[in-house]
């Protein structure tokens, strides 16, 4: 696309904006496999990458695509892949290897209805997978949950930078709604931070150092345990420094709705209507799902009467809300799944039900 | 005194974990000699498989990457596309390459990736204790074919070079063996040709090397070499199956 002037806005589809953001964040290697509703990411990359000396490669499978990302990341370049729910399941092997070999990479999941082949409408039913088990083993990946296309663009920059800083995979957990909708956006004019990876990458030693090995195999249990413990120290630092969330009208709230991604937009509408009717309701919106804003929820639990988690699933994130609240006040859930999107009216009704008569 | 023979520089001077009489050692040496002779160690990146050669990453002195089972050609693709002037090789066994990694093998070949695959075919899963491989011969006894491989239920062995030779992206495919000195010398020449093919960006290259597994075949090293000659070579004929190294697969 043409270079935009400062503050200039452009109307873009979510998937395409995400792809352009990745390019502007310095990613020149994209490996993918077609799947609805993320295909425009690949199509955009296929159009743009050859023109800027980058690589777009359509792999034979999601398994191959994530391993191509593993290879590119091992060689020391910024690399990414994108897919949707069923395809992400195939990538989980590679994600575990990326985590185990301390490799930075970006994985995009534009979620659709599941399980199995499921459907192709928006869903948030991969929350557990993204935050609890993105691959086999003791590991975490960074998980960003944008609620607008602008935020998705900004998060792509953050995701690459944090992935490189901590040498770990990062995921943008979007959904079919964010991928397919259009919004005006601008691209951040920030200098992309450069990382020198020669000391650890397998990029050819050029006779300047002994050989590097990018690897996740440690046959001595004590050594493997030590590697994992070191990684968990980095995870603790990330939880401390890089947890992101938004609080909306929480200060005087009796009820706090917890919602992320596209669902949070519906919740915000419902809250605005409820406030006009004097219901004291607010929202905590996690922007990172790992690390999770546990402390923000704990803090709110000191003064609210209850929490409501609203999701496009049968209730997955609500587990983390309950863990944070730890029984202090009631936590309830409302949601739709399978590609059905909750309406503001439904959320409003749920808020009213929980708060009883006018507050 | 003149040095007439020494350990290749591209091999790290440490003991390997391979069983006595296993031919992985010979094949490692041939690859390392090739890297030395072409003076490419500084820009070479090797990919180790899952299988007996899993710890090859400790033995080669070039930069190395350990792959998930069967995924080495995809990882090689990612590296080569990122660093087009590097020399990238995978070192894979039969289960890794021709069972769990068949898709990655076939598609890196048909894309004509400028990578080199060193494919060690000994007809058995060695690391896990001797189970049937995709290349286990009909009638061959393994832990999971205790009555011999019955093709009516377990199917037929995969002839990898023959299969890949039909793909337009394959610049060079040769099957060799390491059962005697003349064949070892031919294997060396094939490996060097495959690496050269890659350096000249002619396309995908693979050298299939018939190899032994005395431990899981239940034979002495010498008996194993004889068994290879009498049983494997007839089923897997040696020779060049594709040679498009003159013009390259893209005719450039």
Cβ atoms of residues A235 and A316 within 8 Å: no
Integer Cα distance of A284 and B4 in angstroms: 74
Q: Is residue B147 part of a domain?
A: yes
Q: Which of A61, A79, A217 sits opposite B103 (nearest CB)?
A: A61
Q: Is the ipTM of this complex over 0.90?
A: yes
What residue numbers bound the domain in which B105 lies? 24-243
Residues of chain A with CATH 3.40.50.970: 10-242
- What's the mean pLDDT in B91-114? 98
Joined tokens for residue A120? 């192709």
A-chain residue closest to B56, CA distance: A213
CA distance B91 to B118: 5
The answer to whether B32 contacts chain A (CB < 8 Å) is: no
Does residue B218 lie in a domain region? Answer: yes
Going by CATH, does the domain composed of A10-242 fall within 3.90.850.10? no
Q: In this structure, how many other beta carbons lie within 10 angstroms of the beta carbon of residue B101?
A: 28
Q: What is the 3-state secondary structure (H, E, C) of A280-293?
A: CEEEEEECEEECCC
Using the Cβ of B217 and the Cβ atoms of chain A, whether some distance falls under 8 Å is answered with no
**Mind telling me how many Å the CA of A167 is from chain B's nearest CA?**
16
CATH code for the domain of B86: 3.40.50.970
pLDDT in tens, B162-204: 999 999 999 999 999 999 999 999 999 999 999 999 999 999 9
Chain B residue with Cα closest to A103: B65
What pTM value is reported for the model?
A: 0.97
Q: Where do we find the tokens 């070579």?
A: B233
Inside any domain, residue B6: no
Residue B63 has pLDDT above 70, yes or no: yes
Residues 6+ apart with CB under 8 A from B105: B73, B97, B98, B117, B160, B164
The alpha carbon of residue B127 is apart from the nearest alpha carbon of chain A, in Å, by 14
- CATH class of segment(s) A245-355: alpha beta
Determine phi and psi for A307, rounding to 5 degrees. -125, 150
- Counting one residue from chain A and one from chain B, the pairs whose CB atoms sit within 8 A come to 132
B34-45 residue pLDDT tens:
999 999 999 999
Whether residue B5 is contained in a domain is answered as no
Which residue is associated with the tokens 């041939």?
B30
**Cα(B235)–Cα(B184) distance, integer angstroms:** 19
Interchain proximity A75–B58, CB inside 8 Å: no
Low-confidence ranges of chain A (pLDDT < 70): 1-6, 357-359
| Phi, psi values for residue B47, rounded to 5° | -120, 120
Q: What is the pLDDT of residue A1?
A: 59
Instruction: Indicate whether B18 belongs to any domain.
Output: no
Q: CB distance from A80 to chain B under 8 Å?
A: no
- In terms of Cα–Cα distance, which of A160, A29, A171 is closest to A95? A171
The residue of chain A nearest to residue B60, with distances taken between CA atoms, is A211
Q: What is the distance in angstroms between the Cα of B225 and the nearest Cα belonging to chain A? A: 31
Domains of chain B: total:
1
DSSP A343: P
Residue B55 lies in a domain: yes
Separation of alpha carbons A223 and A217, rounded Å = 10
Q: Tell me whether residue B65 is in a domain.
A: yes
CATH 3.40.50.920 in chain A is located at: 245-355
Q: How far apart are CA A134 and CA A95, in angstroms?
A: 7
Cβ proximity of A69 and A45 under 8 Å:
no
Question: Looking at the domain assignment, is residue B3 inside a domain?
Answer: no
Tell me, what's the pLDDT at B90? Answer: 98
Q: Do A202 and B79 touch (CB under 8 A)?
A: yes
Which pLDDT belongs to residue B251?
87
For residue B64, the chain A residues in CB contact (below 8 A) are 202, 211-215
SS3 label, residue A345? helix
């Amino acid at each position: 696309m043409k270079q935009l002037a400062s503050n200039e806005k452009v109307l873009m589809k979510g998937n395409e904006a995400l792809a352009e953001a990745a390019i502007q964040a310095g990613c020149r290697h994209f490996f993918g496999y077609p799947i609805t509703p993320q295909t425009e990411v690949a199509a955009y990359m296929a159009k743009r990458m050859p023109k800027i000396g980058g690589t777009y490669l359509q792999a034979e499978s999601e398994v191959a695509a994530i391993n191509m990302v593993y290879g590119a990341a091992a060689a020391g370049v910024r690399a990414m892949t994108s897919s949707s729910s069923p395809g992400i399941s195939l990538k989980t092997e590679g994600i575990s290897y990326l985590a185990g070999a301390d490799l930075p990479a970006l994985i995009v999941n534009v979620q659709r209805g599941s399980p199995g082949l499921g459907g192709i409408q928006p869903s948030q039913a991969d929350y557990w997978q993204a935050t609890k088990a993105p691959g086999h083993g003791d590991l975490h990946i960074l998980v960003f949950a944008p609620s607008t296309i602008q935020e998705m663009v900004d998060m792509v920059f953050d995701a690459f930078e944090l992935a490189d800083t901590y040498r770990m995979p990062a995921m943008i957990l979007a959904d079919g709604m964010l991928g397919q909708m259009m919004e005006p956006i601008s691209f951040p004019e920030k200098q992309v931070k450069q990382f020198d990876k020669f000391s650890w990458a397998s990029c050819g030693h050029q006779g300047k150092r002994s050989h590097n090995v990018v690897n996740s195999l440690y046959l001595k249990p004590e050594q493997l345990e030590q590697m994992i413990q070191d990684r968990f120290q980095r995870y603790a630092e990330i939880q401390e420094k890089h947890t992101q969330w938004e609080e909306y009208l929480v200060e005087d709230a009796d009820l706090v709705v917890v919602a992320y991604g596209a669902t949070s937009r519906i919740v915000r509408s419902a809250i605005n209507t409820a406030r006009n009717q004097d219901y004291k309701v607010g929202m905590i919106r996690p922007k990172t799902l790992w690390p999770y804003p546990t402390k923000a929820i704990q803090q709110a639990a000191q003064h609210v009467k209850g929490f409501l988690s609203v999701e496009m699933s049968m209730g997955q994130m609500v587990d983390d809300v309950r863990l944070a609240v730890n029984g202090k006040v009631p936590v309830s859930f409302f949601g739709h799944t399978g590609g059905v999107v909750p309406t503001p009216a439904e959320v409003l009704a749920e808020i009213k039900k929980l708060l009883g008569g006018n507050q | 005194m003149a040095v007439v023979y020494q350990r290749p520089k591209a091999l790290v001077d440490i003991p390997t974990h391979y069983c006595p009489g296993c031919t992985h050692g010979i094949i490692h040496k041939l690859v390392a000699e090739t890297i030395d002779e072409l003076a490419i160690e500084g820009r070479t990146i090797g990919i180790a498989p899952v299988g007996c050669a899993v710890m090859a990453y400790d033995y080669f002195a070039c930069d190395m990457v350990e792959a998930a089972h069967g995924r080495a050609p995809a990882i090689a693709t990612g590296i080569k596309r990122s660093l087009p002037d590097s020399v990238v090789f995978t070192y894979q066994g039969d289960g890794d390459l021709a069972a769990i990694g068949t898709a990655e093998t076939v598609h890196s070949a048909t894309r004509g990736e400028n990578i080199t695959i060193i494919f060690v075919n000994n007809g058995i899963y060695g690391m896990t204790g001797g189970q049937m491989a995709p290349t286990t011969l009909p009638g061959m006894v393994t832990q999971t074919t205790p009555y011999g491989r019955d093709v009516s239920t377990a199917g037929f062995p995969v002839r990898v070079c023959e299969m890949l030779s039909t793909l337009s992206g394959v610049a060079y495919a040769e099957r060799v063996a390491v059962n005697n000195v003349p064949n070892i010398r031919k294997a060396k020449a094939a490996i060097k040709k495959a690496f050269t093919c890659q350096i000249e960006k002619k396309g995908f290259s693979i050298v299939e090397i018939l190899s032994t597994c005395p431990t899981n075949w239940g034979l002495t090293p010498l008996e194993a070499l004889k068994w290879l000659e009498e049983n494997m070579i007839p089923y897997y004929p040696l020779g060049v199956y594709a040679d498009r190294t003159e013009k390259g697969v893209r005719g450039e």
